[in-house]
């Protein structure tokens, strides 16, 4: 999508309703000098490319986005990634450019895609919990005091295990 097509689509996505050439023109003219026929041609091109659908309204059309800006961004990322001769390296470079906020958004998105049953990795810097074993006093064993050791490897005292 070219720069002018992006400027037009930005308005279509932002307004989130069917728009006319005149509405887009008037908003674009706040930033630049542009002709009605130019905006009409851009919207017609976007229609031909499948980014907007249109419905006749009198002698004009109303244009509406076919997909969201997020879907467009995803398509761009997929296209760029699939054109790389080394997709893994491209992803590493891309992740390296991300802000902390973007990395968190990516982490959240991966969790959503994986679903609620996905296994969550444990943080690498946390140590395993220490399980204390009752100390036997002279003449008393854990079994006689009502405490049991349980099965080896089992931690009955820890919730969620």
- Sorted by where each starts, the structural domains of the chain and their CATH numbers stand as 3-65 (1.10.10.10), 69-114 (no CATH)
C-alpha to C-alpha distance for 69 and 46, rounded to whole angstroms: 14
Q: Give the mean pLDDT of 15-22.
A: 96
C-alpha pair distances (Å), 105 with each of 26, 61, 115, 116, 120: 35, 37, 15, 17, 16
Contact by Cβ (8 Å): 54, 64: yes
Please report the sign of the dihedral spanned by the C-alpha atoms of residue 108, residue 110, residue 115, residue 119: negative
- As a whole number, the mean pLDDT across the chain is 80
- The predicted structure's pLDDT at residue 64: 97
Handedness of CA 60, 66, 70, 75 (dihedral sign): negative
Q: Coil, strand or helix: which one is 18?
A: coil
* Residue 39, helix vs strand vs coil: helix
Residue 75 makes CB contacts below 8 A (sequence gap 6+) with none
pTM, rounded to two decimals: 0.57
Phi, psi torsion values for 147, nearest 5 degrees: -95, 145
- Residue 11's pLDDT band (boundaries 50, 70, 90)? very high
What does the pLDDT look like over 98-116, one tens digit per residue? 999 999 998 898 899 888 7
Neighbours of 129 (CB within 10 A): 10
> What is the number of residues in the chain?
161
- Dist. CA 4–CA 145, nearest whole Å: 80
């Amino acid at each position: 999508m070219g720069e002018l097509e992006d400027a037009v689509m930005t308005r279509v996505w932002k307004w989130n309703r069917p728009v006319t050439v005149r509405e887009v023109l008037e908003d674009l003219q706040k930033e630049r000098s542009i002709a009605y026929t130019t905006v009409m041609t851009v919207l017609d091109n976007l229609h031909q490319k499948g980014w907007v659908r249109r419905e006749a309204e009198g002698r004009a059309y109303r244009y509406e986005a076919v997909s969201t800006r997020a879907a467009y961004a995803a398509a761009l990322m997929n296209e760029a990634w699939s054109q790389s001769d080394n997709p893994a390296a491209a992803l590493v470079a891309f992740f390296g450019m991300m802000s902390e906020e973007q990395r968190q958004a990516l982490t959240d998105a991966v969790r959503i895609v994986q679903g609620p049953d996905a296994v969550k990795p444990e943080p690498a810097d946390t140590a395993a919990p220490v399980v204390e074993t009752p100390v036997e006093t002279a003449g008393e064993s854990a079994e006689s005091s009502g405490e049991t050791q349980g099965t080896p490897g089992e931690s009955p005292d820890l919730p969620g295990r």
